[in-house]
Structure 1
Amino acid sequence: MNSNENRKNKLFNLLLNELPDQFTGKLEVKGSQKSWMIFFCVGRLVWATGGEHPNRRFHRIWHQFCPNISLANMKLREQNDLNSYYYHILSILSRKKVLVLSQVKAVVIENIKEVLFDILQQQSQELLAYNLSPKGLEKSLILMSVIIPPEAIIPSVYKSFLAWQQSNLTEYSPNLVPEIIKQKLLQQIAKPNSYETIVKLVDSQRTLREIALFMNKDLRQLTLFLIPYVRNELIILKSVPDKQRIEGSAGLQPDLNKNQVPTKVQELIVCVDDSKQICYMLEKILKKANYRFIAIKDSIRALPIIIETKPDLIFLDLMMPIANGYEICTQLRRVPVFENTPIIIITGNDGVVDRVRAKMVGATGYITKPLEPKKILAIVKRYLRNYPPKSSEKSDQTSF
């Protein structure tokens, strides 16, 4: 971004050229329906909030960089200034060494980047009001090791927004939720692989940003993939309200639709295995038996996806590169919501050592290769219906 482009862009010109020297306080940005706040300390960026989905945004970024730490049980007294609520949590957890510096920095930077991107998009559609105020975050909260020079963030934000603009996506916010409205016609028009992908991606609940993170896809490429179907009125992109935070807690309230008739939700099963053959086999067997199924072939992406989807049962391959089944199982058992989730280890050996180690890391049971449909379905039915198992229940090869 050159100096001429910088001066033409009101937001960036203010951040890079017009901000008072060593400024501490906040920049308020207001549109006709949305507003944001950007906080500073000695001329550097500290935090940003506001926009359509401050709660969704923070929780999504949190799961991305701090997947092992649940927000649901974190209690924090409500403050008058709710704009600093999440930053207050970051500050406390950082000082208590619950979070490492790299995690805090990643959450702060990603949060600020998203807010700046959203302001840029709104700035391209209407005239925004910018107002500097000396009233910023409480000084005792500010993490001086995680204050960011504006010039360290702005180039990458500008590059992302420019690519979004050049792809003719300016009118589409990443905070919109795609919803299929003509499924039969979509199935007829789209290629089989594309249709399967769309059905898997679009659940009428997740925003474009949430889908991109969940599927480990580039946000712009994902949106470009869906836009032809939007323009042909097969899919709509709709605005949705932000999720509500539970009072006194950092957790979010569950989604409730009072007008919707309750229906039995199919159990979700996740398999973490770098073998395409194993994943394909399990998907075929389990979907035929009316279970929902997600295959995760990249063990590094396993934790964020599992935490996001909260499956009813998890298969873990024992031997995988970088992170193996033992390591992932250990990390999952540290997350309160997965304390009692059935976790089945997939192993090629039926040895005592593997079984003992699996039990030590908290696995519920194990299954040996080769995998057979009857054996898989028996394990799934047993643990989904009877877990935790009764003490009098006889042991078989799937339990300890």
Structure 2
Amino acid sequence: MSPNVEKVVTIQPVEPVNLRKQPSEKPEMSGQTFRVTHLSDVWTKMQTHRLSGELQLGDSRQRWSLFFLGGRLLFATGGQHRYRRWRRLTGQFAPALQGVQGAPETAWEYDVLTQAVEARQITQEQAQQVIRGAVTEVLFALAQAVTLAQMGVGQVRGYWDGEARLPGELLLLVVTEEWRRVEQVWQQWQEVGLRATSPDMAPQFHEKRRLEQRVNAQTYLTLSRLCDGQHTFWDLAVATGAQLPLVGQSLLALVREGYFRLQELEDVAPVLPEVTESAPKPVVACVDDSPACLQNVAAALGDQFNLVTLEDPLRGLGTLIKTRPAVIFLDWLFPQVNGLEVCSLLRKSPVLKDTPIVLLTANGGILDRARARLAGANEVMEKPATPEQLRATVQRYLATA
């Protein structure tokens, strides 16, 4: 979150900055830091310009990332309790993924959900529930941070990265109504007197014996089990099935009377995959609508490399970006698109812009080779290629990587 240029942009409710530009133009905030004074205006700017990329926001304590596609929110992550949130949401909606985590510098949650849906470990509905829960918690935290900044407590800054993309799409498009719903929850949280209290805090008993005399036996047992200093307000809302503001309101009086103390919790330690000593096999991709060609490539390369075979180039773009192959073999002709167009499209991806691409064709004349170079291909190989040619080509590009 350390951009090269810093600029303060104060967004006014009546006339938001740059909203008079056409949606096709880039907003001024691109490549610059800017101060966030009204979160709803930033949200409006995303939708007005139909932006795609990553919006990074943060204050002195927390950092959040919001990913957009065409002005619509796909996913949100970050904050103080990123791994606690993942454990809570997967435990509630997708238990099969509770032990699967990733490195904090990436949007690993979305990648895990995408792969799990593709592998049918979870349903798309389960993935969407986890995503919606993450979006709710992040937007709530942002609303609180911006509100406190308006009161002179801290400052929220943002940075727009128009090149960032998520590894795949689950097509959960969270529209304006989702932000409006979170705004209502935040408003209710303030109304019960918890404006400066984060729902990431955990209530812990301070006067346990005195409380036993104040509430009924069932309530006391519930509070004893959950208010142990290890369960946040978010956790309590899930455990009790109650709305977050209601949980806060129920406990606030007891906190003020001294029965509980609120304490901050550290995030749980991430469980990262164990690193094996053996180096992974390089990934090689072959995109061809001919099963015979795919079988030929698999027979030649399958033992030495992790082979990704795809018949539909357009549907397979997400897979190529996710797997990051060392070399891509790409057929020249497809029913609805040609390999030159696909090659040009791959070169627009930050992940694949430098990946060696070999176009496979039955006609490798001088003119075709020139057209292939202009489209971004590294070379043209005539079909059918022999196993020796395929292996030698891959080894040549790996040696120069």
TM-score range, shorter chain: 0.5 to 0.7
Aligned to 2:147: 124
Aligned to 1:84: 107
- 2:80 maps to 1:49: no
Secondary structure of 1:47's counterpart equals: strand
TM-score, normalising length: structure 1: 0.55
Aligned to 2:38: 10
> Contact 2:86 / 2:98 at 8 angstroms: preserved in 1?
no
- Taking the aligned partners of 1:24 and 1:217, their CA distance within structure 2 comes to 35
Secondary structure of 2:106's counterpart equals: helix
Among candidates 87, 99, 103, match of residue 126 of structure 2: 103
- Taking the aligned partners of 2:37 and 2:217, their CA distance within structure 1 comes to 43
Task: Decide whether aligned partners of structure 1 residues 210 and 134 sit closer, same or farther in structure 2, where only a CA change above 3 A counts.
Answer: same
- Once the two structures are superposed, residues 183-227 of structure 1 have per-residue CA deviations (whole angstroms, 9 ceiling, x without a partner) of 223234445554344223312211111122122222221221111
Structure-to-structure mapping, 1:309-388, within 5 angstroms: none
- 2:117 maps to 1:94: yes
- Once the two structures are superposed, residues 129-174 of structure 1 have per-residue CA deviations (whole angstroms, 9 ceiling, x without a partner) of 1221224234xx231522333x131111111111111121112211
Letter in 2 for 1:142: G
- 2:167 maps to 1:167: no
Task: Decide whether aligned partners of structure 1 residues 83 and 152 sit closer, same or farther in structure 2, where only a CA change above 3 A counts.
Answer: farther
Task: Decide whether aligned partners of structure 1 residues 6 and 95 sit closer, same or farther in structure 2, where only a CA change above 3 A counts.
Answer: farther
Runs of 5+ in structure 1 lacking a partner? 250-400
Among candidates 39, 51, 64, match of residue 36 of structure 1: 64
Instruction: State, as a whole percentage, how many aligned pairs show the same letter.
Output: 22
- 2:94 maps to 1:71: no
Aligned to 1:384: none
Letter in 1 for 2:259: L
- 2:170 maps to 1:147: no
> Contact 1:29 / 1:131 at 8 angstroms: preserved in 2?
yes
> Contact 1:49 / 1:83 at 8 angstroms: preserved in 2?
no
- Once the two structures are superposed, residues 236-295 of structure 1 have per-residue CA deviations (whole angstroms, 9 ceiling, x without a partner) of 01000000111217xxxxxxxxxxxxxxxxxxxxxxxxxxxxxxxxxxxxxxxxxxxxxx
Task: Decide whether aligned partners of structure 1 residues 195 and 97 sit closer, same or farther in structure 2, where only a CA change above 3 A counts.
Answer: closer
- 2:207 maps to 1:182: yes
> Contact 1:46 / 1:142 at 8 angstroms: preserved in 2?
no
Aligned to 1:246: 271
- Taking the aligned partners of 2:93 and 2:222, their CA distance within structure 1 comes to 26
Secondary structure of 1:94's counterpart equals: helix
Letter in 2 for 1:16: T
Aligned to 2:237: 212
> Contact 2:189 / 2:248 at 8 angstroms: preserved in 1?
no
Larger Rg: 2
Runs of 5+ in structure 2 lacking a partner? 1-11, 17-35, 150-154, 275-401
- Taking the aligned partners of 2:136 and 2:130, their CA distance within structure 1 comes to 10
- Taking the aligned partners of 2:220 and 2:78, their CA distance within structure 1 comes to 35
Offset of 1:101 from its aligned partner? 1.9
Letter in 2 for 1:106: Q
Letter in 2 for 1:71: Q
- Taking the aligned partners of 2:98 and 2:209, their CA distance within structure 1 comes to 40
Task: Decide whether aligned partners of structure 1 residues 203 and 14 sit closer, same or farther in structure 2, where only a CA change above 3 A counts.
Answer: same
- Taking the aligned partners of 2:254 and 2:268, their CA distance within structure 1 comes to 27
- Taking the aligned partners of 1:39 and 1:135, their CA distance within structure 2 comes to 11
- Taking the aligned partners of 1:224 and 1:148, their CA distance within structure 2 comes to 28
> Contact 2:201 / 2:265 at 8 angstroms: preserved in 1?
yes
Paired residue total: 239
Letter in 1 for 2:183: Y
- Taking the aligned partners of 2:73 and 2:168, their CA distance within structure 1 comes to 11
Q: Aligned-residue CA RMSD in angstroms?
A: 2.6
Secondary structure of 1:15's counterpart equals: helix
Offset of 1:6 from its aligned partner? 11
Aligned to 1:26: 54
Letter in 2 for 1:96: A
Offset of 1:97 from its aligned partner? 2.5
Letter in 1 for 2:67: F
Among candidates 135, 141, 148, match of residue 112 of structure 1: 135
- Taking the aligned partners of 2:254 and 2:61, their CA distance within structure 1 comes to 28
- Taking the aligned partners of 1:195 and 1:100, their CA distance within structure 2 comes to 38
- Once the two structures are superposed, residues 47-99 of structure 1 have per-residue CA deviations (whole angstroms, 9 ceiling, x without a partner) of 111111001111211122123x2432x4x7x66x6331111101111222222
- Taking the aligned partners of 1:202 and 1:5, their CA distance within structure 2 comes to 44
**Structure of higher RCO (CA pairs closer than 8 Å, 6+ residues apart):** 1
Letter in 1 for 2:110: Y
